[in-house]
Every structure is written in structure tokens, then in C-alpha cells.
């Protein structure tokens, strides 16, 4: 009887071990989270409720949007400073009130690969306010909010007044401007943010040239999110006594498996996101090296590659 019990316990231990091995392999091989960039601007009109609703319907749990500030100091979704980029208007969106912006067609200039003409014109698609977005976001959806305005203090002050504690838990902030993140953390200390892009760039370039990750880039336990492109054109400059010389250099494979493994050893809380992943080949590479997520303008194209990859 005792021998039987021992065998049963032994079998349970073996089964548990095998399950852990399988789980570990699944985790290391899991598909990176697909994050629609500008709500998936390569497939639907970018930064619109129309695109966001389809992202939600299609099961994307993380969505990236871009915030600017209207003339009447209301946070709006738009990328860039020329309305002609996506709408039938002209000028800087920040020089118009929300009421004026709502008269524009935000699907006017969208063209989709494989389709003739402008399929989203006259569909009632408008420039949304951030408040309108928050009204439709489900509890299980995370917004990655990129602040793209020089009027960031007014925008952040507005967010301080309107965001609830529950809404704040569903938002991760990103900006290419370190001053924006600094001011945001001063006003909203518990806001979740991506690491300063300048720091991430320096970390990746340092690891790229020295083949070793320096711990000091990730020493803060508050850092949970980092993001950068896998390929990036940069200017490398050298200072001389009589001036300086600069060259444009194309860096490829800034992210790799060893780097990500080293990052996890230093700070296991880190979620690394690869920016500008727009082909199945790029997505499969991101999966193979263990990225947490990817920014993409073509989320449905990448999602289909998770089905077809063998």
C-alpha cells in the first residue's frame, strides 16, 4: 500500500515537472502581443473611433493612440500638425476647437492597399476626443497613449482633472520627449510610463557595440515598459578640435534574444516592445527572440501570420 502511494506521488511529481516544462516552452515561444499603432492606421483611418472599435471587436487587448490638444484645450486624437494628412481640412489641428474639428472627415484621405479610391470618405468618421475613446474601452483593454504636443503641460493638467483611478490603470503613457514623461510623473506619480526613449536608445546602442547589457539602464524597479525599433537610421557624430564629422548609419537587429534574456535577468518586470513591425517576417523574428509585444500599422496582417506560421 505504501509502495503504491509512493508511486502515485512520484507520478504526480513527474507530471507536474512535464507540465512546467511545456508551460515554459510555450511562454518562451508565445506570440508577441500585437499592438495596433495609431489604432491600426494601415488598415483603417488612424486614431479614430471607427478603427478603435474594430480593434476591440477583433480582440486586440492593447491599442496605441496619439494625443494632441485642441484650441479649447481638450485632448484629441491626431498624429502630426497638418489636418490635410488624414482629413479634408488644412492647418494645425491644435489651432481649431473641437466643434470645428468635428466638421471634418477623418476618413477622407485614407487609402487601403488593394482597394480603389477612398473607401472611408463620407462615412461619418470624425476626429475623436480622448473622453469619447474612454467611453468605449472595455475593462480588459489597455491604451498606450503617445503624447505628441508641445502644449503637453495643458494636456496633462487636463488629464489630471478628468482621469479616474480606474481609467488610469488601463493606460500606459509613452512619449519621445523626456520632458513630457517627467512632467506627467510629477502630476500623476502613479501613472504607468515607458522608459525614456533616449535611455532606451542608449541602452540598445551600448549593447549593440559592446555585446553586453549594462545593468544601470534597468536598475529602477519602476521601469516595466521599454520600446524601440529593431531597425533605425541614426546619425553618428565625432567631435574634432576644428569641428565635427557626421555619418548616417543604419542599425539592424538592435533587439536580439541574448539582449532580452539579459534584460529579464536584471529586471524580470520588463515588457519589451518592438516598434514598426509591419510584415509577418518581422513579426516572426520578434516572436523568435522573445519580444513581449510589437507596434504595427497592420495588426490583422500580423494576426493572420500566427495562424499560417508552421
pTM: 0.88
**CB-based burial label for 254 (10 Å; 0-12, 13-18, 19+):** buried
Torsional sign, CA 147, 272, 44, 59: negative
State the cell numbers at 135.
Answer: 467611453
> For 140, which DSSP code?
T
Q: For residue 296, what are the β-bridge partners?
A: 36
pLDDT given at position 18: 39
What gap in Å lies between CA 155 and CA 213, rounded to an integer? 36
pLDDT of residue 65 exceeding 80, the answer is yes
Mean residue pLDDT of the chain comes to 91
pLDDT in tens, 182-227: 999 999 999 999 999 999 999 999 999 999 999 888 877 778 999 9
Rounded (5°) CA angle 61-115-125: 55
Minimum mean pLDDT among 18-22, 73-77, 262-266: which range? 18-22
pLDDT given at position 1: 54
**CB-based burial label for 266 (10 Å; 0-12, 13-18, 19+):** middle
Per DSSP, the three-state class of 114 is coil
DSSP string, 226-263: EEEESSEEEEEEEEETTEEEEEEEEE-----HHHHHHH
In sequence order, the 6+-apart residues with CB closer than 8 A to the CB of 99 are: none
Q: What band does 11 get if pLDDT is binned at 50, 70 and 90?
A: low
pLDDT of residue 180 exceeding 80, the answer is yes
Per DSSP, the three-state class of 121 is coil
Rounded (5°) CA angle 29-32-38: 170
pLDDT of residue 116 exceeding 90, the answer is no
pLDDT of residue 36 exceeding 90, the answer is yes
pLDDT given at position 210: 93
> Cα–Cα distances in Å, from 145 out to 7, 77, 264?
55, 10, 25
Amino acid at each position: 500500500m505504501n509502495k503504491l502511494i509512493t508511486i502515485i506521488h512520484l507520478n504526480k511529481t513527474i507530471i507536474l515537472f512535464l507540465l512546467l516544462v511545456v508551460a515554459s516552452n510555450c511562454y518562451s515561444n508565445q506570440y508577441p502581443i500585437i499592438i495596433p499603432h495609431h489604432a491600426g492606421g494601415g488598415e483603417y483611418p488612424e486614431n479614430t473611433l471607427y478603427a478603435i472599435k474594430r480593434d476591440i471587436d477583433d480582440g486586440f487587448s492593447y491599442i496605441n493612440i496619439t494625443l494632441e490638444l485642441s484650441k479649447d484645450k481638450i485632448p484629441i486624437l491626431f498624429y502630426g500638425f497638418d489636418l490635410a494628412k488624414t482629413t479634408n481640412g488644412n492647418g494645425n489641428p491644435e489651432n481649431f476647437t473641437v466643434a470645428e474639428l468635428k466638421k471634418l472627415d477623418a476618413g477622407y484621405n485614407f487609402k487601403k492597399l488593394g482597394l480603389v479610391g477612398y473607401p472611408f470618405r463620407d462615412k461619418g468618421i470624425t476626429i475623436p476626443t480622448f473622453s469619447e475613446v474612454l467611453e468605449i474601452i472595455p475593462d480588459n483593454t489597455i491604451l498606450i497613449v503617445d503624447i505628441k504636443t508641445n502644449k503637453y503641460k495643458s494636456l496633462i493638467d487636463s488629464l489630471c482633472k478628468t482621469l479616474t483611478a480606474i481609467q488610469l490603470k488601463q493606460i500606459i503613457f509613452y512619449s519621445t520627449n523626456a520632458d513630457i514623461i517627467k512632467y506627467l510623473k510629477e502630476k500623476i506619480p502613479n501613472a504607468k510610463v515607458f522608459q525614456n526613449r533616449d535611455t532606451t536608445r542608449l541602452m540598445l546602442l551600448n549593447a549593440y557595440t559592446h555585446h553586453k547589457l549594462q545593468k544601470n539602464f534597468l536598475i529602477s524597479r519602476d521601469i516595466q515598459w521599454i520600446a524601440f525599433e529593431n531597425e533605425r537610421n541614426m546619425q553618428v557624430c565625432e567631435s574634432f578640435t576644428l569641428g565635427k564629422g557626421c555619418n548616417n548609419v543604419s542599425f539592424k537587429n538592435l533587439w536580439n534574444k541574448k539582449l532580452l534574456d539579459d534584460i529579464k535577468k536584471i529586471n524580470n518586470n520588463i515588457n519589451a516592445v518592438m516598434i514598426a513591425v509591419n510584415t509577418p517576417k518581422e513579426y516572426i523574428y520578434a516572436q523568435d527572440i522573445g519580444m513581449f509585444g510589437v507596434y504595427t500599422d497592420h495588426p490583422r496582417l500580423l494576426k493572420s501570420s500566427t495562424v499560417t506560421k508552421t
